[in-house]
Amino acid sequence: MQAQPHVVIVGGGFAGLWATRGLARAPVRITLVDRRNHHLFQPLLYQVATAGMSAPDIAAPLRHILRRQANVEVRLGEVTGIDTDARRVRLADGVALDYDILLLASGATHSYFGHDDWAADAPGLKTLEDALAIRRRVLLAFERAEAAATPAERAAWLEFAVVGGGPTGVELAGTLAEIARHTLRREFRRIDPAQARVRLVEAGPRVLASFPDSLSAKAAAQLQRLGVDVVTGKAVAGIDPHGYTLDAGDGRTERVQARTVLWAAGVAASPLGALLGVERDRAGRVPVADDLSLPGRPEVFVAGDLASVRQPDGRPVPGVAPAAKQMGRHVAAAIRARLAGRTAPAFRYRDFGNLATIGRMAAVVDLRGLKLSGLLAWWFWLVAHVFFLIGFRNRLAVLTNWAWAYWTYQRHARVIFGGSDAQKETARFPGPPP
Amino acid sequence: MQAQPHVVIVGGGFAGLWATRGLARAPVRITLVDRRNHHLFQPLLYQVATAGMSAPDIAAPLRHILRRQANVEVRLGEVTGIDTDARRVRLADGVALDYDILLLASGATHSYFGHDDWAADAPGLKTLEDALAIRRRVLLAFERAEAAATPAERAAWLEFAVVGGGPTGVELAGTLAEIARHTLRREFRRIDPAQARVRLVEAGPRVLASFPDSLSAKAAAQLQRLGVDVVTGKAVAGIDPHGYTLDAGDGRTERVQARTVLWAAGVAASPLGALLGVERDRAGRVPVADDLSLPGRPEVFVAGDLASVRQPDGRPVPGVAPAAKQMGRHVAAAIRARLAGRTAPAFRYRDFGNLATIGRMAAVVDLRGLKLSGLLAWWFWLVAHVFFLIGFRNRLAVLTNWAWAYWTYQRHARVIFGGSDAQKETARFPGPPP
């Protein structure tokens, strides 16, 4: 048994988990390392951030998912070093894992394009902690507005901005508008939450740039109908605790007093890529050979958001969940082929289409030519996401929650905790601008 | 409208919320102040701690609960001062609320009997944050055991202790045993979670001391059947990161290496009671007149766990949810009576019985003479708790979760977050004993 090759897989996201499953019947022993105990269904993370779902609705323990796969050992741990010559991965608790084959699939994080000082005032959305921090901030903003001493202060607490018009930014902005206009109705006595302004700021010329022009336009129209102010062609030039500055590129800047700014603009590959000691691209991704292995290091694979892969037509494979799953499955197939003495095949991305949700009954879908928007697209998106959620219980819970939320406009997870103590929060929020 | 008396209610627990609702049609305006945005169904908090439920399953925003009661304003805020002469409550954010009538119902917290240094090593269970901290600790203990380098270290991570044999301690110990024996089955490769030892330590002669002797004995037997070691007649003399010391009172002490100790032993009234400037009892509770007002201050009421109230036979009214609700309702009735020019009636506690759950199909119920235990008691407990949960959605979700958990032994909220980063957690846990 010990003579079986040892496969170490770093990261229990879509790429790592699908690779692990793809090796269920392979003659290997696997160690899956993640610094979280759970697989996270990231496409629905914005629902946790906007209080529509609980954290456990979209996360399942890796051990539980893999309990019946006897050749896997799940290890909670943080990778701090990779020695590709010695074929060894080092963990923060001092343990070293010797591998015969390594898959690095540690994903991506958000990037502030060199403005890391914006992180405190414009939280991004990648982990459950991020989602709960955003939830807390959004819910507290309405509380602060209700308790505000001056109209200016009140207005600043009712001013929301989402930076970045990609899928995450669009989802967040659309849902924030729904919360303000519908969910909180009748709950406040001094403010009207529907007066809140939700702005979606995109530096490029249109939202959802990865979609065809016509769907971008439809998405913008749907956002506006939900109550979102869509601002395109303006870059954010500064963010501070009291607001942000927009730069139209023509020398004019606009200052907006806003207490809540969310960041959905930039993605950077996981810093673990740097441990491989190879050249990376501008976003920190690791260029790989066509079988997803590291050039010159056939025993090291990179997959998911950390891998830089081009399609035959030269376009990059997008950083979406289906691509990560396909890469994970491909790595498993490549390992199985090699162990059987065959050559690993080349990875080929199968693009089944592109979908983005916007809010209540609003979405856009681009299925290789077939374009949908509005209610039909929303149903398509809903069914696809529930279908792909891991674990039966979660699917059921998610459907129940959604059905309930749909009929009542309510969001069951509107609970502030983790630093929710009013005094602590007061301390975290600065006073009025000087 | 402004001429209506202003009732300030501090605390949105059972007493405060039921008082608020009892004043729905009274000619008053109400400000309900809480430092949390939610009402918490504390009887099920242990389910969040043991990963059976999500935080939002047992918490609902106070604003949402009260959105249709037009005479209430909900205020997120922390009370820092009470001036009973000026009839003014001061909040941490600098705002002062002038009241005509005050209800202080800020509840209780846990107490370490003067050993506050034990708090870091033996967390208690009163808030959602407490529950999530306990959940994290318990789940991480099994992870640490799996990764342990030595048998001694492994054994210490698989040794759990719950201090205090009251209802909370019994629930926690019973559920921990279920997790170890059933929930985690087959998920680990180096440890057998069923080998974990769960000890329930009670200094007094029996568990569930508020129940008749016969039910205490039945509860102990049910605990043992679930896999809990019940230790009575021994007090905890010391707790540190590596374990605890038991003192049998005869000069002999026993040292146990245990990485996870939970505290369910002591309750102390909320520190806000001290702001009233009156004599309090040993547990920090405020003695009140028979209408629950402060002697000499008829416009100030105290209710719930913060109030020290005696029944006609001299026994204290217990610190349980039904008593808090009854007190809240009584204060509302007393206020209505006074406003109508009548004398406020005396509070009379109606004891409908006492129930405690132990674990899967195990509970004890004492209905004024009718004693149940085992499966029947468990069903009784289940129905009562689901019935009393606030909010239809929550009841449905709770029932669904329970039905699912019952059939599968699974606990859907087994997700570690909030300081779940492996490296951070490693830093929080000390190394092996010297």
Q: Pairing state of beta strands A159-163 and A197-202?
A: parallel
For chain B, the average pLDDT equals 90
Question: Measured between beta carbons, which residues in chain A are less than 8 angstroms from residue B55?
Answer: 54, 413, 415, 417
The C-alpha atoms of residue B275 and residue B79 are separated, in whole angstroms, by 9
CB B10 within 8 A of CB B62: no
* Cα separations in angstroms, A110 against A115, A118, A236, A273: 11, 12, 16, 15
Question: Measured between beta carbons, which residues in chain B are less than 8 angstroms from residue A95?
Answer: 147, 149
In order along its 434 residues, chain A shows pLDDT tens digits of 457 999 999 999 999 999 999 999 999 999 999 999 999 999 889 989 998 888 888 888 999 999 999 999 999 999 999 999 999 999 999 999 999 999 999 999 989 989 999 999 999 999 999 999 999 999 999 999 999 999 999 999 999 999 999 999 999 999 999 999 988 988 999 999 999 999 999 999 999 999 999 999 999 999 999 999 999 999 999 999 999 999 988 888 999 999 999 999 988 999 999 999 999 999 999 999 999 999 999 999 999 999 999 998 889 999 999 999 999 999 999 999 999 999 989 999 999 889 999 988 899 999 988 999 999 999 888 888 877 776 655 666 666 666 666 666 677 778 777 643 333 333 333 333 33
Q: Which residues contact B113 (CB under 8 A, 6 or more apart)?
A: B265, B266
Distance from CA of B362 to the nearest CA of A (A): 25
Report the run of H or E that residue B31 belongs to, with start and end: strand B29-34
Q: Which of A173, A174, A195, A200 is nearest to A184 (CA)?
A: A195
- Other C-beta atoms closer than 10 Å to the C-beta of B301 total 30
Question: Measured between beta carbons, which residues in chain B are less than 8 angstroms from residue A93?
Answer: 147, 422, 426
SS3 B339: helix
Q: Mind listing the pLDDT tens digit for each residue in B118-161?
A: 999 999 999 999 999 999 999 999 999 999 999 999 999 999 99
Sequence-ordered strand ranges (E) for A1-78: 6-10, 29-34, 38-40, 59-61, 72-76
The C-alpha atoms of residue A353 and residue A323 are separated, in whole angstroms, by 11
Q: What single-letter amino acid sits at B231?
A: V
CB A50 within 8 A of CB A411: yes
| Closest alpha carbon within chain B to A80 | B423
Sequence-ordered strand ranges (E) for B123-175: 159-163
Phi (first) and psi of residue B326, to 5 degrees: -60, -40
CB B52 within 8 A of CB B125: no
What's the pLDDT score for residue B405?
65
What's the pLDDT score for residue A201?
98
The C-alpha atoms of residue B71 and residue B80 are separated, in whole angstroms, by 24
Select the residue of B56, B77, B189 nearest A73 (Cβ to Cβ): B189
Cα torsion angle, B122, B128, B129, B131, sign: positive
- Other C-beta atoms closer than 10 Å to the C-beta of B431 total 9
* Cα separations in angstroms, B376 against A181, A424, B223, B362, B365: 47, 45, 16, 8, 9
Report the 3 state secondary structure along A218-242. HHHHHHHHHCEEEEECCEEEEEECC
The C-alpha atoms of residue A42 and residue A240 are separated, in whole angstroms, by 28
Angle (deg, nearest 10), helices B392-408 and A392-408: 170
Q: Which residues contact B342 (CB under 8 A, 6 or more apart)?
A: none
Select the residue of B38, B56, B143 nearest A37 (Cβ to Cβ): B143
Distance from CA of B191 to the nearest CA of A (A): 11
- Is B55 within 8 Å of A186 when comparing Cβ atoms? no
Q: Pairing state of beta strands A6-10 and A59-61?
A: unpaired
* Cβ-based burial of B216 (10 A; exposed 0-12, middle 13-18, buried ≥19): buried
Question: Measured between beta carbons, which residues in chain A are less than 8 angstroms from residue B35?
Answer: 420-423
What's the pLDDT score for residue A53?
83
- Burial string for B39-48 (b: 16+ CB within 10 Å, else e) reads bbbbbbbbbb
The C-alpha atoms of residue A338 and residue A291 are separated, in whole angstroms, by 11
CB B331 within 8 A of CB B8: no
Q: What single-letter amino acid sits at B14?
A: F
The C-alpha atoms of residue B82 and residue B97 are separated, in whole angstroms, by 10
Q: Which residues is A246 bridged to in the sheet?
A: A236, A254
Q: Mind listing the pLDDT tens digit for each residue in A131-164?
A: 999 999 999 999 999 999 999 999 999 999 999 9
Sequence-ordered strand ranges (E) for A286-380: 286-287, 293-294, 297-302, 307-308, 354-359, 362-367, 370-373
Distance from CA of A23 to the nearest CA of B (A): 17
Question: Domains along chain A?
Answer: 6-35+77-110+268-339 (3.50.50.60), 122-265+354-428 (3.50.50.100)
SS3 B175: helix
Q: Enter the ipTM.
A: 0.86
Q: Mind listing the pLDDT tens digit for each residue in B374-395?
A: 999 998 888 888 778 766 556 6
What's the pLDDT score for residue A251?
83
